[in-house]
Structure 1
Amino acid sequence: MDNKTPVTIFWFRRDLRLNDNAGLYRALKSGNPVLPLFIFDKEILDKLEDKDDARVTFIYKAFEDLNKALHQHDSSLLVIYDKAEHAWDNIIKTHNIAAVYTNHDYEPYATKRDDTVRDKLKKHNIVFKTFKDQVIFEKDEVTKDDGKPYTVYTPYQRKWYAAVKPFYLKVYPTEKYLTNLVKSKPLPLPSLTEMGFEKSGMLFPDQEYKNVIGDYAEKRDFPAIAGTSHIGLHLRFGTVSIRELAKAAHGYHNKTWLNELIWREFYMMILHHFPHTMDHAFRPEYDRIKWVNNEEQFKAWCNGQTGYPIVDAGMRELNTTGFMHNRVRMIVASFLSKDLLIDWRWGEHYFARKLLDYEMASNVGGWQWAAGSGTDAAPYFRIFNPESQTKKFDPDLKYIKKWVPEYADFSKYPKPIVDHAFARERCLKAFKEALVK
């Protein structure tokens, strides 16, 4: 690789794949050789609490696979471990950059980082171009007729379906232009150890999802059944294309599965237009709630020792696998925020630490839905009863027996840390006092 030759840099972030990649496709057609780049951002990594964080291992494996694919085209991925701002200072010094291409990243830190990088590149007369890739419709593409953002999901969903056309699901044929990659011998990669991390032993789900789409609506609520796709991790880091998933759902005529993807885009839109929801209630009056915030009970919830088997099963599944079934996520979130009257932000933070498929917008949106403080129009007195949820969705206790085997022996299983009937009345009183002011 000749550092004097003008290059277009493609900056991989949440799009760790060569196929059907919007920004990479456009970079490859820019007229300059394309240098692929990935920055292991210290600004993000330094905030992770667990040095065996499985998501870091997943990303590392993903860009190793990406690098192998690049080697087949006599190219290589430039991987840098540094704060993004510092990394770009060095890249600008060492390369003749004609332009930088990348895909949009919507989370608050990412948008701030991109603004900083854009300004830095501009000072050197380097163009910074970003493209839509991880959603079908982004922040301002599905709005009310007056251009204002929707704040309720159902009308947003209707408008989404009315707006989607085959064009939006069209694949970007990047493979046609991979000969335009910079020719390079394999470049050295920083090791996990050099970055202060260790390899996680957690197993990662594969990219197979079509086997569950057909009967997703019938099976998705039962945690003992393999009725969900586990594709969220791959969607989070872009090892699979959103267009591929949406197109597959259309092909199977399965709106229930596609609706989950639309929920994701709805919450991304909400976070963009209402960034305060990252750590404040969408409805401000819910920030007046007087939470109990019992730390011992929170610890019991985290460890799956609440005495409510469906809750404990979910938390143990999360702690062991980095995944929790969607129905159970609602149950454990309701239990924390309503039964224990613990601030939903505590739970959101714990999920952010543990979930392999963590996305801020969806996680915050889901937790605010459970707490009643979000966009959902349902009244605050929707409080899940763990026992009735168990009878309805795990009637044979298969899920519970898998994750809470000691439940069969009452002498070994903890007693409930709170009485549900008492907790329900306490919750209703606390919420009513906060909301009538």
Structure 2
Amino acid sequence: MARRIIYWFRNDLRLKDNQALLSAVGSADEIVPVYVFDPRQFEKTKLGFRRTSVLRARFLIESVAELRENIRQKGGDLLIRTGAPEAIVAKLAEDYNAEYVYTSKEIAPQETRIESSLSKNLKTANVDIKLFWMDTMINAFDLPFPVSRLPSGFAQFERLVSNDLKIKDQFPTPEKIALPTGFEAGAIPGLPELGIDPNEIPARSAGILPGGETHALTVLKEYVEQYVKADSIYPSAEPLTDTRLSGWLSLGCISASYIYRSVKVAQSHAVTEDPIITNLLKREFLHWTLLRYGPRMFKPSGIQHHFNRRWKNDSALFGQWTNGQTENQAVNDIIRKLNTTGFITAAERELAAKYLTDTLDINWTWGAMYFESLLMDYEASVNWGRWNNVAGVGEG
């Protein structure tokens, strides 16, 4: 039993079904939970818009605020810091004489670079880091193939994993979180502290669903009651996205495996598979795709290395698309909806993306970056994987 562990929250902003947090609580006398707001996430991209928009930033702040309150109800607290996590978490480990840092494993390039830098910083203080793979429903060793031999398309992936689908067990919620005395909790930053002008919030953004674990569980419960238990068909084939559950899932306010189990238990009497199960498996496939191909997913040539496919880098034409001023009114309406709410349906995303790639012939990575900025449910693997497929450079 360790005396003290630093627990660094990343995209796992929940207490329910959180393997790494439960392991930390069970492995130490005291844990120091911390969340670090990284200003680099809110900087402007080379195209002029924020990497994380004001609406997505607000959603994150709300989710962290609720997480802090939930931890306080367990007898602990959530330390809040702003800066570079690789430096701050290492300094906390040293200040609190921690023996370990526990955190979730990420797969996007920037996040893995931060992990690597943190690991190096911790070594100088003789502190070990333990990473937990929590973002997928299936453990790597439970896949029926090595990640290096991931099937080239979703249909084959689904066929292979469905024969013997091994979903992770649910992990219980910690009953108590013990924090050392004399800690400095820190204040949750407002938008200005993150370098964002609150006036950037669109005038018509009222009614946007708030962040946090409670809201995620409520929306899942409503979906299960109204559609799964009632054996009723959801209006679209993408309920994970279109119910907005994917928004909370993107920050880990709820886990993919928790959604899966909740739906499977409720539909035990049904003959046909609920579409949200297929949605979750598609997400799973895109996560493993990012793990296999890494930076290739973010380049214009895409996963398939289509180097001969040339794209226009036309800023004026791209600006017409981002401002909803193209010749296609349906696309304009979609983009304006995205700009003001941070949400568009799965079908709307595909229509807008196809217009950018097929009609305007604009560099698809620009569109992916724009969606990354604005979508409340942004996940690197899902967003960039879908854009790879729309642009014809993905695995399908």
Give the alignment's TM-score, normalised by structure 2. Answer: 0.84
* 2:303 matched residue in structure 1: 282
SS of the counterpart of 2:32?
strand
Match of 1:308, as an amino acid? N
Structure 1 residues 209 and 93, CA gap change in structure 2 (3 angstroms): closer
Structure 1 residues 198 and 160, CA gap change in structure 2 (3 angstroms): farther
Q: Offset of 1:246 from its aligned partner?
A: 0.8
1:4-51 CA distance string (max 9 Å, x none): x94111110101111211100000010321111111123323356448
Give RMSD over aligned pairs. Answer: 2.8
Q: Does 1:261 align with 2:280?
A: yes
Structure 1 residues 283 and 293, CA gap change in structure 2 (3 angstroms): same
Structure 1 residues 9 and 269, CA gap change in structure 2 (3 angstroms): same
Across the two proteins, how many residue pairs are aligned to each other?
366
* 1:249 matched residue in structure 2: 263
Moved more, 198-207 or 127-136: 198-207
1:13 and 1:40 map into 2 onto residues whose CA distance is 10
Q: Offset of 1:284 from its aligned partner?
A: 1.7
- Residue of 14, 18, 24 corresponding to 1:17: 14
1:345 and 1:52 map into 2 onto residues whose CA distance is 17
1:293 and 1:305 map into 2 onto residues whose CA distance is 18
2:342 and 2:255 map into 1 onto residues whose CA distance is 22
Is this contact kept in 1: 2:31–2:177, CA < 8 A?
no
1:246-294 CA distance string (max 9 Å, x none): 1123132534211111111111111111111222411223x32233444
Pairwise mapping of residues 76-91 of structure 1 onto structure 2 (< 5 A)? 76-91=77-92
SS of the counterpart of 1:9?
strand
Structure showing greater relative contact order (alpha-carbon pairs closer than 8 Å, 6 or more residues apart): 2
1:143-166 CA distance string (max 9 Å, x none): 53796222211111122223324x
Is this contact kept in 1: 2:140–2:147, CA < 8 A?
no
* 1:220 matched residue in structure 2: 236
* 2:245 matched residue in structure 1: 231
Q: Does 1:43 align with 2:48?
A: no
Structure 2 portions without partners, runs of 5+? none
**Structure number with larger C-alpha Rg:** 1
Structure 1 residues 242 and 125, CA gap change in structure 2 (3 angstroms): same
Is this contact kept in 1: 2:12–2:251, CA < 8 A?
yes
2:84 and 2:278 map into 1 onto residues whose CA distance is 36
2:312 and 2:393 map into 1 onto residues whose CA distance is 17
Q: Offset of 1:183 from its aligned partner?
A: 5.4
1:113 and 1:227 map into 2 onto residues whose CA distance is 29
Is this contact kept in 2: 1:10–1:24, CA < 8 A?
yes
Structure 1 residues 123 and 258, CA gap change in structure 2 (3 angstroms): same
Match of 1:209, as an amino acid? L
1:289 and 1:100 map into 2 onto residues whose CA distance is 44
Is this contact kept in 2: 1:39–1:79, CA < 8 A?
yes
- Residue of 185, 188, 209 corresponding to 1:187: 185
Q: Offset of 1:365 from its aligned partner?
A: 1.1
Q: Give the % identical residues.
A: 24
SS of the counterpart of 1:163?
coil
Structure 1 residues 196 and 43, CA gap change in structure 2 (3 angstroms): closer
* 1:351 matched residue in structure 2: 371
Structure 1 portions without partners, runs of 5+? 377-437
